[in-house]
Amino acid sequence: MPAQGAFTSGMREMIRSVPLFAGVSTAGLQLLEQHARESVVPAGHLVVQEGDPGKHLFFVEQGTVRIYKEGRGKERELARMTEGGLFGEMGILDRDGRSASVQAVTETKLVVMGYVAFEVLADHQPLDYARVLENLARELVVRLRQLDDRFSTIT
């Protein structure tokens, strides 16, 4: 079981540095920070499994994770993320099952934030919530364009 801890100054720096929260007010950031926790995941540990409910957003504070899918008896690695990377963002939008599995490659320190944080932000700081959604849309568009580029090179 990964070690979990309360909010730290390192988490504050992490949250305030990620592009997802660009333009969010100090009050909005403080509200989000109240719903964040830190988790240390050992190398090889499965963080999320494809199909599990998407209830949390994860930020990589330190370490490396790999994102992969399984199908037809094979495993295909889709990406690796290091410090500053985020995953689980689609679950914040639709709360549907995870689209891929994520495993820690090295001991990894994650900042974990439940979707409830975003509901609270929407209720108390609607303009900040709109900024987060706009930033999230940009991130998803970047990933979609990268996927388009990958498919365009397949012959």
**What total number of domains does the chain contain?**
1
Tens of pLDDT, residues 106-115: 999 999 999 9
CA geometry: angle at 90 spanning 94 and 136, to 5°? 110
pLDDT in tens, 121-134: 999 999 999 999 99
Is 43 a residue whose pLDDT tops 80?
Answer: yes
Stronger pLDDT, 95 or 115, i.e. the higher one? 115
For the ranges 31-40, 61-70, 72-81, 146-155, the lowest mean pLDDT is seen at 146-155
d(CA 40, CA 11): 12
DSSP for the chain, written as a single string: --EEE---HHHHHHHHHSGGGTT--HHHHHHHHTTEEEEEE-TT-EEE-TTSB--EEEEEEES-EEEEEEETTEEEEEEEE-TT-EE-HHHHHH--B-SSEEEESS-EEEEEEEHHHHHHHHHH-HHHHHHHHHHHHHHHHHHHHHHHHHHHT--
β-partners of residue 75 are 70
* Per-residue pLDDT, 149: 74
In sequence order, what are the beta bridge partners of 69? 76
pLDDT of residue 3: 57
For residue 146, give the CATH number of its domain: 2.60.120.10
Question: How far, in Å, CA of 111 to CA of 40, rounded?
Answer: 9
Range of the domain at 80: 3-152
